[in-house]
Structure 1
Amino acid sequence: MAESVATVHHVPRLVAVLSLILLLAGCAGADLAKQKFPRTTIPADAENVTDPTGSSRPPAPPADGEPVDPAFAADKLRLTDPCELLDEDVLKRFGTPGDRSRSGFSRCSNFMKDKNGKDLAVTVEIGQTMTTELKNADKQLAGLRSYEQVLENSACFVSVITQEEPGLGLTVQIGYEDGDACAPGREMAESVVTQIKDRAATRTAAKGSLITLDPCALPEKAAVDAGAGAGYRVYPYGLHHCSWVGDDRELTLAFRETYIPDDREFDDKQTEVDLGGGVVGYQVSTSTAFPSCEVTWVQLEGADNEGEVVEVKSAGPKASEFDRCATAVAFAKSVVGKIPKG
């Protein structure tokens, strides 16, 4: 999940980019290509699906910055295991579950077979930034506002709004080419909402894990001021990513659960930088129309090359003349000391 904008005058562009990323992440995250489902466009009447609750009256919106229910607070969602939300008892209603496939902190899939042996891919993602979904949420599911997108003969995205401002929610994606993909999507989404409310999928964070940290709240204000420049605004994205967009530059901080190469070579063009405290960062710069410099370092490394990394990026339009790598490294050094050691 990536992002890039130019200046504060391009804030609408940021919103559009993040909306596009969310949609593409949903399409790619369940790995539909692996299931050989055809890609199609979203039909114009994709949202004209019957409300399964039979109600057309949405609940009243909550106060700004508050979840619709305390169970959906960001700190609780960060400790919710998305794989545990894929309840096998629910999956068995649709067919034969396969192995669960985790993708990052907040997404998990099960590539299974329906009762006729056809491919059926089920993916859940929690704590997603909701823009289009929030605007178009004209249904209700499990007592919450919801929105459905359909890719004809391919997939259905059932999104449930868990916070209005800023918009957050969860999505169940069903990849299925031999039936109504939205029906199992609604059923699974109701199960997911119930489990989150019941705290049935809570996990314990490993020592030194990034999973509980709020990337927007972690850095010191002085470090953000120096890295984002004048007039910046804060843009959280999901549960583990934050951007600060200033007049002529932007700064981002992301926490990721990902594959850790044995040689720590994340990019063949990377160079090592000393971030202090024995932490080695891996720096990569680009010279596109929106040049950037990114610094990555490993926070935790577990079995089978699984682990957690921190990513810092400094970027800005070519016309903005500043040292992006120096900015990224300085910000990274300020963040390193704020993260608990493993």
Structure 2
Amino acid sequence: MEPLGRGEPAQVGRYRLLAAVGEGGMGRVLLGVAPDGRLAAVKQVHRGFAHDPGFRERFRREVEVSRLVSGAYTAAVMDADAHAPTPWLASVFVAGPSLQETVDATGPLPGAAVRHLAAGLASALIGIHRAGLVHRDLKPGNVLLADDGPRVIDFGIAHAVEGSTDLTHTGIILGSPAFMSPEQADGRPLTPASDVFSLGALLVLAATGYSPFAGASGPQSLYNVVHTHPDLRFLPPEVRAVAEPCLAKDPARRPTPAQILQLLGPLPPVQRPWPPAVHALIARRQAEVAGVVAKKPTRKGPRIALAAAAAAVVAAGTITAVSLTSGDDGATAAPATTTAPPPVTATSAPNPDPLGPDKLRGVDLCQVLPSVPGTGKLTPEIGVHFFECIYETPQGQWLELAVGGPVTAGGTASGELDGLPLSIDDKAGGCTASVPVVDRPDTTIGVEASSAAKPFAKPCDSAKAALTETVKRLRAGSPAARAVLAPVDPCGLVDTATVQRIAGPVTKVEPTGLHECHWQVGGEIVVSLERGTPPTQSKDSYYDSTGTVDLGGVTAYYTRKRANPASGFCDVTWQHHPLENDYSENVVVTYRTSASKLTDDETCRGAHDIAKAVRPGLPKP
């Protein structure tokens, strides 16, 4: 991201501008903040397009239709003005790299990640096509990767620009030649099948690192798209089975997005679908955004309302927590010299309710659902995390039971379930039914049902039935987990006074899910209790440095990264209790700084000191 240039406007419409994100063939993208605190990608279309007599009307029409597009895998249009001197539109900001940036930085994605990418792209196209749009420019730069899946951006805008007399006179080709469909390259009318061809080309890029049609020049790429067949021999078989039919030259022979989801079959539910290097790249991008938002404004005028804007980066309707400060420079790890305001805390006396956080932490989720009425006996297949277990039904359907995981509550209000407010999130590929944890409305008890089963079951019916049985069994008293750390409240492991002595004034203490706690300081301190593989020293070149540190006789592993001169993070991870099958219970302490003068060594020293303070409160292994 780059700072705004001298003389550039500080505001477009209702959106206060913070930085320049990038520039493409259609316009310039800026990071903006709405009056309600949401971050937005504000695209100002190049002034040249505004001279075309028909452009503004096409732009207005396409934006209106684009507003009808919704879904988990698109960045929704928030606002637009086709009549402004420089037309613009604002869409939900996604703090993640593009697919092209990801492949360039980390290399091709493994087959499992490409299948999740395919499912997300197909689901996005279902929503786009349902609104009556054809994307027309589905390329690696228009697919962003967020922590929980891909996001498709700029849908409908390519069509608004088409027809410009300026473009016709200059001979510019609209779209990206290596990812166009043959009919688009030939100038024929486009149907939704054109986007499916582009999807197939994207899958090849993701799996191999190169486009299947890229030539030495744009015309050569167009020729390849129309006349040559791609070499798919080196694609993983599970990726080729999906990509190859999408790349049929005849549009009528390509699958629809819904059929692509059927080709993919059941995908195991995952919270983080990408390889670790990709998630690290996403975290870096989020830290960059956090640093921009946290900086003091350089223009005259009111300060940005960070209470609203700095708490979240909104990505396709999903709120991703970001570490931000009040915008004041000079946060240090030294004790505060003045009395800090009392922190806002979510901790309280133990809650005896079986659906409250204290009881739910200690439940063995893979023992909660031995069966569901109408479905039959369930088989627990995957139970890595404290907060989830994935079951398989006799019909081959996947049911993911998640209690107090890192995903915030969502869905549409759908009445009640056993006296609790019920939410249903019906989406392509599955359906989630959830109810809130008692006293924690931001945390849910939920079941996600996949849509792939034989005979096909209605996923929302399956999810609701499984959730009903879950609530019943939890209230009756479910088996306790054998894990040592699972029942522990992470917010109770270190007192506020200790955190304040190490990191400065604490303004808020807030749990995330049931196994993670955040202390808002001059940045953020996070303590997470996890089940996973035993930690080792990272060899990932993404980090500035890695190593070990002694925590009073226990070896911990740290990673350190400086995102920009004022922001960075240091993680400290150690194994608390070994488990069978090469797993362990681990503790992770993260110190993220923002708009801070702390050095890298000081940041890691603060993380180490918090880790040492956490250890005495942990139960014996």
* TM-score category of the 2 structures, normalised to the smaller one: 0.7 to 0.9
Among 318, 321, 326, the alignment partner of 2:597 is: 321
1:53 aligns with none
1:108 aligns with 2:389: yes
Give yes or no for contact 1:69–1:162 (8 Å, CA) kept in 2: no
1:191 aligns with 469
Cα distance in structure 2, aligned partners of 1:227 and 1:137: 43
Give 5+ residue unaligned stretches, structure 2: 1-36, 40-71, 73-111, 129-346
Larger Rg, first or second structure (1 or 2): 2
Between the two proteins, the alignment pairs up a number of residues equal to 283
Code of the aligned partner of 1:284: T
Give yes or no for contact 1:229–1:249 (8 Å, CA) kept in 2: no
After superposition, the Cα gap between the structure-2 partners of 1:266 and 1:106, relative to the gap in structure 1 and judged at 3 Å, is farther
Give the Å deviation of 1:254.
0.5
Among 409, 433, 443, the alignment partner of 1:168 is: 443
Greater shift in the superposed pair: 33-42 or 279-288: 33-42
After superposition, the Cα gap between the structure-2 partners of 1:288 and 1:183, relative to the gap in structure 1 and judged at 3 Å, is same
3-state DSSP class of the match of 2:392? strand
Code of the aligned partner of 1:331: I
Give yes or no for contact 2:351–2:357 (8 Å, CA) kept in 1: no
Give yes or no for contact 1:292–1:314 (8 Å, CA) kept in 2: yes
After superposition, the Cα gap between the structure-2 partners of 1:313 and 1:169, relative to the gap in structure 1 and judged at 3 Å, is same
1:331 aligns with 610
Give the Å deviation of 1:321.
1.3
Mapping of 1:214-233 within 5 angstroms? 214-233=489-508
Cα distance in structure 2, aligned partners of 1:159 and 1:143: 13
1:38 aligns with 119
Cα distance in structure 2, aligned partners of 1:32 and 1:74: 32
Give yes or no for contact 2:375–2:393 (8 Å, CA) kept in 1: no
1:260 aligns with 2:534: yes
Cα distance in structure 2, aligned partners of 1:223 and 1:335: 10
More helix by share: 2
After superposition, the Cα gap between the structure-2 partners of 1:105 and 1:129, relative to the gap in structure 1 and judged at 3 Å, is closer
Code of the aligned partner of 1:328: A
Cα distance in structure 1, aligned partners of 2:406 and 2:357: 11
1:296 aligns with 573
Give yes or no for contact 1:129–1:167 (8 Å, CA) kept in 2: no
3-state DSSP class of the match of 2:490? coil
Cα distance in structure 1, aligned partners of 2:381 and 2:115: 14
Cα distance in structure 2, aligned partners of 1:147 and 1:329: 41
Code of the aligned partner of 2:420: L
Cα distance in structure 2, aligned partners of 1:286 and 1:163: 38
3-state DSSP class of the match of 2:360? helix
Cα distance in structure 2, aligned partners of 1:190 and 1:32: 32
Give the Å deviation of 1:335.
1.0
Among 73, 82, 97, the alignment partner of 2:365 is: 82
Give yes or no for contact 2:529–2:585 (8 Å, CA) kept in 1: yes
Cα distance in structure 1, aligned partners of 2:441 and 2:419: 20
Cα distance in structure 1, aligned partners of 2:614 and 2:539: 22
3-state DSSP class of the match of 2:563? coil
After superposition, the Cα gap between the structure-2 partners of 1:110 and 1:341, relative to the gap in structure 1 and judged at 3 Å, is same
Cα distance in structure 1, aligned partners of 2:480 and 2:419: 25
Mapping of 1:150-161 within 5 angstroms? 150-152=426-428, 154-161=429-436
After superposition, the Cα gap between the structure-2 partners of 1:159 and 1:33, relative to the gap in structure 1 and judged at 3 Å, is farther
Give 5+ residue unaligned stretches, structure 1: 1-11, 15-19, 21-30, 45-63
- Residues 100-120 of structure 1 show CA distances to partners (whole Å, capped at 9, x for unaligned) of 210311200023452xxxx41
3-state DSSP class of the match of 2:372? helix
Give yes or no for contact 1:227–1:314 (8 Å, CA) kept in 2: no
Give the Å deviation of 1:229.
2.4
Code of the aligned partner of 1:38: A
Report the TM-score, using the length of structure 1 for normalisation.
Answer: 0.72
1:71 aligns with 354
2:340 aligns with none
Cα distance in structure 2, aligned partners of 1:37 and 1:168: 29
Code of the aligned partner of 1:80: V
Give the Å deviation of 1:325.
0.3
3-state DSSP class of the match of 1:298? strand
Give yes or no for contact 2:409–2:443 (8 Å, CA) kept in 1: no
- Residues 152-186 of structure 1 show CA distances to partners (whole Å, capped at 9, x for unaligned) of 2x100101123254533201000114442100111
Cα distance in structure 2, aligned partners of 1:293 and 1:76: 32
Cα distance in structure 1, aligned partners of 2:617 and 2:505: 23
Mapping of 1:41-60 within 5 angstroms? 41=124
Give yes or no for contact 1:37–1:175 (8 Å, CA) kept in 2: no
Report the TM-score, using the length of structure 2 for normalisation.
Answer: 0.41
3-state DSSP class of the match of 2:436? strand
2:424 aligns with 148
Give the Å deviation of 1:272.
0.7
More strand by share: 1
Identity %: 25
